[in-house]
A and B are shown apart, each in its own frame.
Chain A
């Protein structure tokens, strides 16, 4: 079985400050890890993924994520947050040989001006 935990329901930061959204996962074998963002009344937009290779993954809109195998974590980061980054963020995992994505419960990010 595979699962994802996003320990924070909400993250609040000031514009221009660093943003971190936490994610830990549990999966058998090598994980494929993804971050998606959801704006109100919209579907999910892909931000970035970790498949293999470098532990630091760079994605869309200035986001990056760090894969840590020993801590089974895949935290999303942005060095300088924007008000427009306010949205709902989901971490997801897929096990090797599996077809489904398993999502965390989501973290609501609010960036105040």
Chain B
């Protein structure tokens, strides 16, 4: 049973560029959440996708956008990259009907470095 997978593992970009990160949820899961984990900090919620719609959003600017596909996989897009966007980006999946009580399963993350 495959867990949550993310690609790429590492990414280096320069300021002003755009980046797309990808996530495939755990088998049987239909909900994907994205988190940003800056160095030395806990993960911060970016947004959650369910039924191909953004269901909830954290305190992140519009430069951060996402998409969920019919197969439940998801993309995180970040435009106009800033140095401060350097972080580990984590994808987590869960089952919608159990969202409140169920734990989220996390992928290994994508390490984004902005130069």
Q: A residues touching B (Cβ–Cβ < 8 Å)?
A: 4, 32, 34, 36, 41-46, 49, 51, 90, 92, 94, 96-106
Contacts and interface: CB of A to CB of B under 8 A. Distances in A.
Nearest to A36: B106
22 contacts: A4-B42, A34-B103, A36-B106, A43-B106, A43-B107, A44-B43, A44-B106, A45-B106, A46-B104, A49-B101, A51-B101, A94-B100, A98-B56, A99-B33, A99-B99, A100-B33, A100-B56, A101-B45, A101-B104, A103-B42, A103-B43, A105-B40
A53 B115 CA distance: 49
Contacts of A96: 100
Contacts of A46: 103-106
B104 A32 contact: no
A100 B45 contact: yes
A44 B33 CA distance: 13
Given A90-B42, A103-B44, 16 more contacts: A36-B106, A43-B109, A44-B92, A46-B104, A46-B106, A90-B43, A96-B100, A97-B100, A98-B56, A100-B45, A100-B58, A101-B35, A101-B45, A102-B45, A103-B42, A105-B40
- Which of A4, A43, A92, A106 has most chain B Cβ within 10 Å? A43
B90 interface: yes
Nearest to B4: A43
B100 A43 contact: no
Contacts of A41: 108
A106 B93 CA distance: 21
Interface string B21-48: 0000000000001010000111111001
Nearest to B90: A43
Nearest to B45: A100
